[in-house]
Structure 1
Amino acid sequence: MFEQLTQLVQQFGQDDVVKNNAVPNEQNDAVMQEAGSSIFSSLQKMASEGEGIEKLAGLLQGNNAQNGSNPAVQEITQQLTGSLGEKFGLDSSTASGVAGSIIPKVLGGLVNKANDPNDSFQITDLIGAISGGGAQTSGIMDTISKYGTQFGLDQNADGKLDLSDAIAATQNKGGIGGFLGKLFGK
């Protein structure tokens, strides 16, 4: 997952960091590395906290990752803004501008990659990487399932999202792609 994150930071960092005259050229690479590290550590922190899991699950649905007013996006943006000011001496306006621009783009790109059936990187890879696997991964997936039932994805009305819902969706609503697309807001 960190490789995909690094690629996205490099991609979006061209405009937000490299072409930004307020960021000294000799700090471009370090600032982009800090952005990637900050995103990863913030996501891990959310995955390890009780209420953070709900923020994380909400972030992974629809276009929430690209929404600067999403609480999870705001939290990660604030973390990066502080780091850029502390570690690189960027003034608060520059630091918040860089963070406020790059964070939604990178998170949106990461969630889009995870939701793309043609990409080998999947949503479970993302969740497993940030949660460390095990019980935390299933807790996050349970929270996503909870949100999914609220959005009418529980095909057999048993109160949970599982394989039987996916099978029911494949039989009547555009296949598994339609079911997963509905779950993740596509």
Structure 2
Amino acid sequence: MFEQLTQLVQQYGGDAVVNNTAIPNEHNEAVISETSTSIFAGLQKIVSEGGGEQLAGLFSGTSSIDSSNPVVQQLTQQVSGNLGEKFGLSSDASSGVAASMIPQILSSLVNKAKDPNDSSFQISDIISAISGNSGQASGIMDTISKYGMQFGLDQNNDGKVDISDAMALGKSGGLGGLLGKLFGK
């Protein structure tokens, strides 16, 4: 999981880090590495502090992945603080890096985890990795399933929301088809 997260940070680190004049070029690789470590540690901290429902909302798609999201806010603060402390970046520079990368990385992570054709990220693997394989993982997965059930995502009516439902949703018109059903169109 950490390796995949690092790949996403590298993917989105071009403008925020490499092309950023506030970050000396000799620190680019270390800043990207620290960003990955800080995001992973931040996700673990959210779980350990009882924020499983926030993460479930993130992965189930019931909450937006922008600066108003509490998970995005907490990760942005953590990454910004760590970059400022470890690399002597100004508050503006470190918060700018974090604010531009965190929503992109989380959006990509969630989209990849939901994509039935992308086996590199599985929601259950992500949750297990950040919860340390504790009992919290099953609670988060239960919450994701509960939200999915409320929004009619149990496409095969087996009482749970899983990858087979995502595949069926894709065949039935995807999110547009689901919204059409919800609004009677």
The TM-score, its normalising length taken from structure 1, stands at 0.81
Q: Alpha carbons of 1:154 and 1:81: their partners in 2 closer, same or farther (altered >3 Å)? A: same
1:152 is displaced (CA, Å) by 3.7
Q: Alpha carbons of 1:161 and 1:145: their partners in 2 closer, same or farther (altered >3 Å)? A: farther
**Equivalent residue, structure 1, for 2:34:** 34
| Contact 2:6/2:33 (8 A) holds in 1 | yes
| Contact 1:65/1:111 (8 A) holds in 2 | no
| Contact 2:116/2:163 (8 A) holds in 1 | no
1:134 is displaced (CA, Å) by 4.2
Q: Alpha carbons of 1:28 and 1:101: their partners in 2 closer, same or farther (altered >3 Å)? A: same
1:83-131 per-residue CA deviation (whole Å, 9 max, x = no partner) reads 1111111111111100000111111111111111111121111111111
**Equivalent residue, structure 2, for 1:102:** 101
1:166 is displaced (CA, Å) by 8.5
Unaligned runs of 5+ in 1: none
What percentage of aligned pairs have identical amino acids? 60
Q: Alpha carbons of 1:17 and 1:65: their partners in 2 closer, same or farther (altered >3 Å)? A: farther
**Equivalent residue, structure 2, for 1:162:** 160
Alignment of 1:115-134 (within 5 A): 115-121=114-120, 122-134=122-134
1:4 is displaced (CA, Å) by 0.8
CA distance in 2 between partners of 1:41 and 1:9 (Å): 14
1:140 is displaced (CA, Å) by 0.5
**Equivalent residue, structure 1, for 2:168:** 175
CA distance in 2 between partners of 1:109 and 1:9 (Å): 10
**Equivalent residue, structure 1, for 2:22:** 22
- The worse-fitting range, judged by mean Cα deviation, of 85-94 and 147-156 is 147-156
Count, aligned residues: 175
CA RMSD across the alignment: 3.0
Unaligned runs of 5+ in 2: 180-185
**Equivalent residue, structure 2, for 1:45:** 45
1:118 is paired with a residue whose SS is coil
1:56-105 per-residue CA deviation (whole Å, 9 max, x = no partner) reads 11111328463121110111001111111111111111111000001111
**Equivalent residue, structure 1, for 2:85:** 86
| Contact 2:13/2:32 (8 A) holds in 1 | yes
Given residue 128 of structure 2, which amino acid in structure 1 is its aligned partner?
G
CA distance in 1 between partners of 2:54 and 2:75 (Å): 11
2:6 is paired with a residue whose SS is helix
CA distance in 2 between partners of 1:155 and 1:145 (Å): 12
